[in-house]
Structure 1
């Protein structure tokens, strides 16, 4: 059979092209992990610090400035890879997308306002089973989750996507439930505690807010809506969230010198 080209040369060109593409991807991932991308630098220049709401009654109120935190399990012994080496995750809003980062300081991208949607006045405690919304500080975007479909899914995990929508609808409604399934009926209607683990569900799909970790980078997260159940039919730790607020300062008792 007549060949107008040399087979070895063609294969070498393919290998060279593939090696160049792999180098470009590695360089991109390396810059992204170090925060050296132009988009990351532009975002970092816009980040400002924010003061969270201080609650004296240890409850979550409508209108509070909060953060959403999923505790990591980096020190938890586990033989399973999916449950090992995960840092703390805080939800952030980057444009219209929702993501997760490891941070300890509240900022304008990691802080949100929680509000009830049933007409309760600002400052009133939000209860288990009571629908609420989570908005950005300017109130322009709402934490939102679409029902899973072929063209609407998280990019890496292909689970139900969570993002920030500019228009409010029923898919932006969320509800909290007690962490322990045995006490959920008893705690229905009780006030949601601040800085304690709870489960947050999307009212439209009844899927729990969750963290999906990238095993190549333990500090890179994808925020999705999916209920991960263990062998006891209870939500796994990736579904455990804290509504973080400032803790009240407890004055130290005065000491009297004799």
Structure 2
């Protein structure tokens, strides 16, 4: 029987190179962690910046104005939620949807950048937009039905980007539904112009040119293509923030030629009596029926 020539503690092969490589990898890891350059650190910083609390404007007169910081919310359709109690039914906000490359952004987000419908209804950097004038209207002037305006993100890290859209083509359309794409651009143009339209089609002509009240259901129409901003709950996107819904510019009409819930939006402002909640979260006043029953008693 031959004697064993070496024990398990004996180093064989390129052991010295392997040890040096491990030491270099550890050193490189520690240096990146010290500078905050690890991928998990960059991802955490991105989410921290875009999810930072935003202060919505408070409308003392009940109307929207140029320069107001608002949140665009697509409300839940109660009939759909009862017939199909799925997680995709609920309130969704128009939100910035950064691509994975945005993780490496150091100072601010850059265009092109996507948007999506998020179930997060708390005001933050990614769902707060500023009503911006495109016709020379001064900040503080009321926004009127049928008047062109732009929606842009905040400055600093959010990049001062404009909500934009254009006619769909073979090379450019939304990822899931292949309808008209909506995204964010760093250039203000006619493609970034929108209009607020009164919800009831039978009264639209009467409301044309009147100030737009805040926190009420309206339509947001793209000026160039005349398509309504829409949330498509059945088309799910995987984002850095989880599952969210696709945003497109497409008018969804029912059998009576009336826009459906996908096109309904509430332009939400801040709650003057609470710096945490919005006017959408504010308790609704009792209905007239309840008031009548109380008075009868």
TM-score by length of 1: 0.76
Question: Where do 5+ consecutive residues of structure 2 fail to align?
Answer: 1-38, 99-112, 275-297
CA 147–215 in structure 1, closer or farther in 2 if over 3 Å, else same: closer
For 2:138 and 2:170, the matched residues in 1 are separated by 40
On the 8 A contact 1:141/1:167 being kept in 2, the answer is yes
Aligned residues: 213
Tell me the CA shift for residue 42 of structure 1.
4.8
Give the match for residue 256 of structure 2: 232
Q: Find the partner of 1:154 among 164, 174, 193.
A: 174
SS in 2 for 1:160: coil
Question: Do residues 116 (structure 1) and 133 (structure 2) align?
Answer: yes
Q: Distance in 2 between matches of 1:136 and 1:238?
A: 23
Q: Deviations over 1:95-115 (max 9, x none)?
A: 311111011311111101012
2:207 aligned residue: 187
Q: Please state how far the C-alpha of 1:246 moved relative to its aligned partner.
A: 1.1
SS of corresponding position for 1:168: coil
Map 1:18-29 onto structure 2 (within 5 A). none
When residues 216 and 100 of structure 1 are mapped into structure 2, their CA distance, relative to the original with a 3 A threshold, is: closer
Is the CA contact (8 Å cut-off) linking 2:144 and 2:210 kept in structure 1? yes
Are the aligned partners of 1:93 and 1:110 in contact in 2 as well (CA < 8 Å)?
A: yes
Structure 2 CA distance for partners of 1:77 and 1:111, relative to 1, 3 Å: closer
User: Which residue number in structure 1 is paired with residue 121 of structure 2?
Assistant: 104
Counterpart Cα distance in 1 of 2:60 and 2:127: 22
- CA offsets 1:205-234 (integer angstroms, 9 cap, x no match): 000000011367996210100000001101
What do you get for the CA RMSD once the two structures are aligned?
2.6
Counterpart of 1:5 in structure 2 is none
Map of 1:197 onto structure 2: 217
Shift of residue 165 of structure 1? 0.7
- Partners of 1:40 and 1:137 lie apart in 2 by 20
Q: Which residue of 2 aligns with 1:32?
A: none
CA distance in 1, matches of 2:172, 2:230: 17
Corresponding residue for 2:10?
Answer: none
1:78–1:84 contact (8 Å) kept in structure 2: no
Cα deviation, residue 248, structure 1: 3.2
In structure 2, the residue matched to 1:31 is none
Q: How much has 1:164 moved relative to structure 2?
A: 0.3
* Equivalent position to 1:44, from 38, 43, 47: 47
Using the TM superposition, give the Cα deviation of residue 140 of structure 1 relative to its aligned residue in structure 2, in angstroms: 2.2
1:169 equivalent to 2:172? Answer: no
In structure 2, distance between residues paired with 1:155 and 1:224: 10
Distance 1:245 1:199 in 2: 16
Q: Which moved more, 1:209-218 or 1:41-50?
A: 209-218
What is the CA distance between 1:75 and its match in structure 2?
A: 5.8
TM-score (norm 2): 0.66
Alpha-carbon distance change, 71 to 152 in structure 1, aligned in 2, over 3 angstroms? same
SS at match of 1:238: helix
Aligned to 1:94: 97
Which segments of 5 or more consecutive residues in structure 1 lack a partner in the other structure? 1-36, 251-258
1:70-111: CA deviations, max 9, x gaps?
A: 0012564665x6999511110111331111101131111110
